[in-house]
A and B are shown apart, each in its own frame.
Chain A
């Protein structure tokens, strides 16, 4: 969500502190994902005043059969930065989806999205990532 380990750590600790304080006051919300929702909002808050990426028209490509091998050539930090650079709510959708910890209904709840919105954000994200992969690791025969 942040692409910055220092900020991620600050958000993580702030979220935990909030949870501990609420627990001490016996005010923990009963809804199951409040901690993740809280963390997400803190992430968005943390990046609100940062330099924002330029609103560029990012290219989109159809998914390639060799996409998996292209992704394997990436450094994990690169994909972290790529996801964190996406505008929200696409950033939240991609981060939550590729964490592979939540099913789609939970993501809809956490990111406060509709199914069609989440679907569009993920589809667009894949196509944009594919375009970036194609630019980074050109495949013979692909335009």
Chain B
């Protein structure tokens, strides 16, 4: 019974067999055609269908309707516009990625424009300034300029001098410590606006050992802190304050801004 049903289905499929290879055939149709392949009855049917289809294709189409099937595009391809292109998710993603990369490059470029010998150390020390608490320093109540002698006498640090601009500021503490490159850093805490001073060795040329100096004051920024750095006699001095450049500018000589 099942066999009979299968044969009926195959017979039904053969009656609907594609006329040409233009029409796709599913697995069951291919199987039925394969089974009937070579039979005179199926060959007759295929020849009949092909001839009929050829004739049907020759049926004249009314001229007005035929115009619709001309070679011209019925629907004009959509116009390319910037607006459309920008809405494309792929283009949007690439644009954002390029913008971020460009932003990073510009940021690095601008950062490097402000770089000077010792700027990396200065930035690290701004981080130190942010994390330092007064109890970590030895209490010293004096004028800042007098600490130069202390650093020299007690620690043997030469030219660790506070510039004239900050010489009169009152201190509340100081300490000398070594950074991760074993350089000796002097740190001074002031009563004035919780300002801190840092004195550290200036960078030197790795081949000649010559001090890499720079003129005037340079600014560095890190974690909301700003430092004004100057170099003198192979030692860098940095005045650090929480805030921006404008908070430090009043303390510096107008000519050096």
Q: Is A107 an interface residue when CB atoms closer than 8 A count as contact?
A: yes
In the complex, chain A residues whose CB is within 8 Å of the CB of B23? 100, 102-104
Q: Is A28 an interface residue when CB atoms closer than 8 A count as contact?
A: no
Say whether chain A's binding surface is mostly helix, strand, loop, or mixed. helix
Partner of B60, one of A76, A98, A102: A76
In the complex, chain B residues whose CB is within 8 Å of the CB of A101? 22
Contact surface of B with A, Cβ cutoff 8 Å: 8-9, 11-13, 15-20, 22-26, 29, 40-41, 44-45, 47-62, 64-65, 68
In the complex, chain B residues whose CB is within 8 Å of the CB of A63? 41, 44-45, 48
We find that the number of chain A residues with CB closer than 8 angstroms to chain B is 41
Contact surface of A with B, Cβ cutoff 8 Å: 5-6, 8-9, 12-13, 16, 63-65, 67-69, 71-72, 74, 76-77, 79-80, 83, 97-105, 107, 115-116, 118-120, 122-123, 126, 129-130
Contact A115 B13 (CB under 8 A): yes
B38 to chain A, nearest CB (A): 15
Contact A9 B12 (CB under 8 A): no
In the complex, chain B residues whose CB is within 8 Å of the CB of A104? 13, 16-18, 23, 29
Contact A100 B25 (CB under 8 A): no
Task: Please indicate which of the listed interface residues A67, A100, A103, A105 has the most CB atoms of chain B within 10 Å of its own CB.
Answer: A100
Contact B44 A64 (CB under 8 A): yes
Contact A71 B48 (CB under 8 A): yes
In the complex, chain A residues whose CB is within 8 Å of the CB of B44? 63-65, 67
Roughly how many angstroms separate A76 CA and B61 CA in the complex, as a whole number?
Answer: 11
